[in-house]
């Protein structure tokens, strides 16, 4: 994808969407060292499921889902793939800075609300395997999402927006949910296989439910962008 700076609306829209994409992806990785409970229950065939335990990093991912689909739709597979590589590099850079900050001793002031060494390490001291798992999971899922999205769009044209949006997410987030937890938590011994087999499906199902619930916003996003851009900009 080539960005022509004379097409100011299309250019600045890409900058804004990319910035939001990178910010939410990096934030999701930084806050994932915490488990939360989702107070959601439902019954199927007499069996009750929930509430669910998952990582708090799931919270920014709905925005990443939405932005991935919009970028795929209006800027194409190559733009999403390049942005995914850049974002992976920035996630790695972010963790390098965090690692350096962990190595610098904190000045501990009595009766201060500032973080001491122990609390700062507890929050940001994620293992290297978690970092590797996060980057591999993000990159693999995003590249797969772009490929599946393009294949569905090539077959359906401008119809069935919901199908290419949800269809690409079904596969990409399956990969993401299992890779990050296995490499980041099972291999270092933070989770047992039994815990992994409980947590990973939960994480995936929640992401999938969120993606499906965002379908109306996908259509809203399409409508707003088509109103914002000219026919010439849309055709490029």
Average of per-residue pLDDT values in the chain? 82
User: What was the pLDDT predicted at 128?
Assistant: 61
Q: How far is CA 217 from CA 22, 67, 115, 162, in A?
A: 19, 10, 39, 10
Q: Do the domain assignments include residue 3?
A: no
Q: Do the domain assignments include residue 25?
A: yes
What whole-number distance in Å separates Cα of residue 208 and Cα of residue 223? 23
Q: How far is CA 87 from CA 12, 90, 164, 175, in A?
A: 18, 5, 23, 18
Q: Do the domain assignments include residue 70?
A: yes
Cis before 51 (ω within 30): yes
Q: Do the domain assignments include residue 189?
A: yes
Model confidence pLDDT, tens digit, residues 206-236: 777 777 888 888 889 988 998 888 766 666 6
Q: Is 175 helix (H, G, I), strand (E, B) or coil?
A: helix
Token duo for residue 44: 């199927």
pLDDT per residue of the chain (236 residues) written in tens, 0 to 9: 454 544 588 889 999 999 999 999 999 888 877 778 878 777 766 767 677 777 787 788 888 888 988 998 889 889 999 999 999 999 889 888 888 998 899 888 887 888 888 888 877 876 566 777 778 888 888 888 888 888 888 888 777 787 887 778 777 878 877 887 788 778 777 778 888 888 788 778 877 777 788 888 888 998 899 888 876 666 66
Model confidence pLDDT, tens digit, residues 107-134: 888 878 888 888 888 778 765 667 777 7
User: What was the pLDDT predicted at 15?
Assistant: 94
Domain count, the chain: 1
Q: Do the domain assignments include residue 202?
A: yes
Q: Do the domain assignments include residue 2?
A: no
Q: What is the CATH number of the domain that holds 138?
A: 1.10.1760
Q: Do the domain assignments include residue 1?
A: no
Which structural domain range is residue 141 located in? 8-41+49-235
Half-sphere exposure of 23 (CA within 13 A, CB side): 8
User: What was the pLDDT predicted at 24?
Assistant: 92
Token duo for residue 203: 């994480």
Neighbours of 87 (CB within 10 A): 23
């Amino acid at each position: 994808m080539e960005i022509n700076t004379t097409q100011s609306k299309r250019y600045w829209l890409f900058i804004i969407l990319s910035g939001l994409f990178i910010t939410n992806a990096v934030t999701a990785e930084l806050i994932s060292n915490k488990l939360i409970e989702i107070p959601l229950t439902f019954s199927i065939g007499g069996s009750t499921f929930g509430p669910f335990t998952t990582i708090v990093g799931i919270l920014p991912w709905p925005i990443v889902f939405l932005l991935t689909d919009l970028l795929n739709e209006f800027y194409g597979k190559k733009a999403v793939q390049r942005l995914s590589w850049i974002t992976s590099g920035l996630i790695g850079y972010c963790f390098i800075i965090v690692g350096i900050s962990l190595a610098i001793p904190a000045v501990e002031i009595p009766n201060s609300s500032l973080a001491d060494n122990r609390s700062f390490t507890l929050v940001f001291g994620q293992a290297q395997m978690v970092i590797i798992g996060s980057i591999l999971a993000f990159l693999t899922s995003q590249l797969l999402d772009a490929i599946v999205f393009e294949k569905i769009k090539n077959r359906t044209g401008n119809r069935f927006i919901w199908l290419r949006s949800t269809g690409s997410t079904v596969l990409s987030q399956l990969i993401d949910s299992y890779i990050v937890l296995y490499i980041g938590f099972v291999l270092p011994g933070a989770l047992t296989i039994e815990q992994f087999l409980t947590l990973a499906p939960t994480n995936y199902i929640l992401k999938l439910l969120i993606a499906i619930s965002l379908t109306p916003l996908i259509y809203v996003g399409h409508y707003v962008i088509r109103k914002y851009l000219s026919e010439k900009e849309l055709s490029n």
